[in-house]
Amino acid sequence: MWPGSCLVCGAHGREGRDLCPLCEAAMPWHPHACLRCALPLDQQNTAATTAHDTGSATCASCLSEPPPLVEVRAACTYGAPLDRLAPRFKFHGDLAAGRVLSALMVEAFGSLPRPDAIVPVPLHRSRLRQRGYDQALELARPLASALRIPLRDGVMSRAVATSPQSRLDAADRRYNVEDAFEVRARVDLPAHVVLVDDVMTTGATLHSAAQCLYLAGAVRVDAWVAARVP
| Model confidence, pTM | 0.88
Per-residue pLDDT, averaged over 60-85, amounts to 96
Mean pLDDT of all residues belonging to the chain: 87
What is the 3-class SS of the chain, one letter each residue? CCCCECCCCCCECCCCCCCCHHHHHCCCECCCEECCCCCECCCCCEEEECCCCCCCEEEHHHHHCCCCCCCEEEEEECCCCHHHHHHHHHHCCCHHHHHHHHHHHHHHHCCCCCCCEEEECCCCHHHHHHHCCCHHHHHHHHHHHHHCCCECCCCEEECCCCCCHHHCCHHHHHHHCCCCEEECCCCCCCCEEEEEEEEECCCHHHHHHHHHHHHCCCCEEEEEEEEECC
pLDDT band at 46 (very low <50, low <70, confident <90, very high): very low
pLDDT band at 41 (very low <50, low <70, confident <90, very high): confident
Confidence at residue 44, expressed as pLDDT on a 0 to 100 scale? 39
Segment 185-229, tens digit of pLDDT = 888 999 999 999 999 999 999 999 999 999 999 999 999 999 999
